[in-house]
């Protein structure tokens, strides 16, 4: 890869980290002054359990290939891992008590609501940050402040062609993320009003319990594209049809592993394959299917360094390969690797 382009991508990642949204997802008169780094996966109960010397593994960019940046599992301090500046101290502390201070009990709708709520807040933060970043980039491009976009341009200003390319790329990305931001804003209002009313029945959760403790954890909101039999659930190429989010939470607890698959009641028919098909499969198959979904849709995944080191190289390579090749892709099948097992 062109070194200039690689430097540009590295600067771009730094730029991204400088434009993170900071605010409280709850945002009401009880907010404390300071927005904190809130954990999207419980620090004391879960990250603590799966960390080694205070470190966990998460996918992160490591370097370039000809298409951009490749990713690999890397160590991250558990105090920083999976955190986001999306809650004030008061709300982060008070809202999540039922899942921070108590073990999860399948069927507890308040706890299931809170897992969904936190996954939405994380996604909201991410979309706000990305939109914010592209607006700033377009603004800098308009003003001709190229060196503020990337240090690469300090010595040589970008060519007309390069300026055109960046303009198309930034506005294209802004178009998509602007739309996503509006959608997340609607989810935020809905979930905050449900939280006010302690109304948890609009979140439908299917729970899978594995009778072994796997040391991985996931918290995320995704738009699954198709069911196991290939029926379209979300068309990511058509923003006019309303999207149906799926909230995925995975964590180990007391010798078992819990997988929570939640959706909004109004979308439950679109995800009926979960109850009618997925839940009826055997454990090995369920693990394979979930491994595919997690690795091709989710970045907010934490893996135990101890378990990872004890895993065969071929399995590790298959996991890294699927993550690296699919997270940015659309229009992908539900199962890509029929032998995959992320449950380490």
Tell me the angle at which helices 283-297 and 313-326 cross, rounded to the nearest 10 degrees: 50
Per-residue string for binding with Zn ion, 54-93, x by CB under 5 A?
----------------------------------x--x--
CB 92 to Zn ion: min, Å: 8
- Least distance from Zn ion to the Cβ atom of residue 125, Å: 13
Q: Is 24 one of the binding residues for Zn ion (CB under 5 A)? A: yes
Give the chain's largest Cα–Cα span: 61
- Please choose, out of 31-39, 235-243, 253-261, 336-344, the segment that lies near Zn ion by the rule CB under 5 A: 31-39
**Cα–Cα distance between 179 and 166 in angstroms, integer?**
20
Query: Tokens 């979904």, residue?
Result: 293
- Rank residues 86 and 252 by Cβ distance to Zn ion and give the closer one: 86
Q: CB–CB of 254/106 below 8 Å?
A: no
Cβ–Cβ < 8 Å for 88, 333: no
What minimum distance in Å lies between the beta carbon of 29 and Zn ion? 9
Distances (CA, A) of 209 to 230, 264, 276: 25, 21, 17
Per CB under 5 A, 125 contacts Zn ion: no
Q: Taking CB under 5 A as the rule, does residue 118 contact Zn ion?
A: no
- 9, 10, 20, 31: residue in contact with Zn ion (rule CB under 5 A): 31
Q: Does 195 bind Zn ion (CB under 5 A)?
A: no
26 counts as binding Zn ion under rule CB under 5 A? yes
Phi and psi of 230, rounded to 5°? 90, 10
Closest separation in Å from C-beta 77 to Zn ion: 25
Nearer to Zn ion, 34 or 80 (CB): 34
CB of 24 to Zn ion, least distance (A): 3
Residue 91 or 188 having the CB closest to Zn ion: 91
Q: DSSP letters of 10-79?
A: HHHHHHHHHT---S-SS-STT--S-EEEEESS-IIIIIHHH-BTTEEEEEEEEEEETTEEEEEEEEEETT
Minimum CB separation of residue 86 from Zn ion in Å reads 10
Size of the site for Zn ion (CB under 5 A): 5
C-alpha angle 187/192/196, rounded to 5°? 150
Cβ-based nearer residue to Zn ion, 88 or 140 = 88
* Interacting residue ranges for Zn ion, rule: CB under 5 A: 24, 26, 31, 88, 91
């Amino acid at each position: 890869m062109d070194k200039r382009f690689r430097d540009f991508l590295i600067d771009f990642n730094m730029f991204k980290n400088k434009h993170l949204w900071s605010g409280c997802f709850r945002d009401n008169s009880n907010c404390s002054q300071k927005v904190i780094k809130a954990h999207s996966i419980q620090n004391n109960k879960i990250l603590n359990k799966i960390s080694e010397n205070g470190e966990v593994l998460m996918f992160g960019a490591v370097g370039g290939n000809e298409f951009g940046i490749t990713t690999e599992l890397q160590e991250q301090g558990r105090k920083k891992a999976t955190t986001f500046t999306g809650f004030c101290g008061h709300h982060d502390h008070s809202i999540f008590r039922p899942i921070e201070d108590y073990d999860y009990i399948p069927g507890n709708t308040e706890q299931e609501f809170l897992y969904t709520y936190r996954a939405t807040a994380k996604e909201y933060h991410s979309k706000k940050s990305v939109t914010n970043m592209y607006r700033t980039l377009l603004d800098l491009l308009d003003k001709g402040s190229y060196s503020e976009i990337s240090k690469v341009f300090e010595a040589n200003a970008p060519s007309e062609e390069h300026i055109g390319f960046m303009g198309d790329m930034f506005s294209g990305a802004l178009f998509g993320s602007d739309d996503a931001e509006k959608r997340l804003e609607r989810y935020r209002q809905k979930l905050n009003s449900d939280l006010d009313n302690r109304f948890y029945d609009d979140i439908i959760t299917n729970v899978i319990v594995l009778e072994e403790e796997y040391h991985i954890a996931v918290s995320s909101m995704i738009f699954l594209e198709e069911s196991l039999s290939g029926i379209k659930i979300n068309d990511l190429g058509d923003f006019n049809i309303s999207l149906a989010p799926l909230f995925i939470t995975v964590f180990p607890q007391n010798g078992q592993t819990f997988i929570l698959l939640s959706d909004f009641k109004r979308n439950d028919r679109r995800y009926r394959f979960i109850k009618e098909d997925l839940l009826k499969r055997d454990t090995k198959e369920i693990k394979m299917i979930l491994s595919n979904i997690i690795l091709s849709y989710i970045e907010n995944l934490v893996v135990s360094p101890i378990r990872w080191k004890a895993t065969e190289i071929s399995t590790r390579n298959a996991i890294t390969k699927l993550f690296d090749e699919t997270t940015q892709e659309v229009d992908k099948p539900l199962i890509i690797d029929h032998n995959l097992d992320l449950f380490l």
